[in-house]
Amino acid sequence: MWTLIIITIAFSGALSGASSSTAYLDFADQSKCEAAATAIGAPDWIRISPGPGGSQTPVGGYRIITRCVQR
């Protein structure tokens, strides 16, 4: 049994607030777990833009960290 651990971290553009969450998904084998980790993960910080017509300052960002562990 393999478990995918998903940690999501989000922050506001002004760095005045942050949030995190953790989730777990079970898989029968390592290859399926690793495939899901690759599909879901965002290993670098992703900036959230304000959209068309907005300022160039990002409104926030997030990162999704994924790891597969055997149980």
Decide: helix, strand or coil at residue 27: strand
Structure confidence at residue 14 (pLDDT): 67
- Pairwise CA distance, residues 65 & 16, whole Å: 22
Domain count, the chain: 1
pTM listed for this prediction: 0.81
Q: What is the pLDDT of residues 9-53, one digit of tens each?
A: 998 876 678 899 999 999 999 999 999 999 999 988 888 777 676
Residue 63 has pLDDT above 70, yes or no: yes
Question: Token pair for residue 25?
Answer: 């998904």
Residue 62 has pLDDT above 70, yes or no: yes
Structural domain including 23 reads 2-70
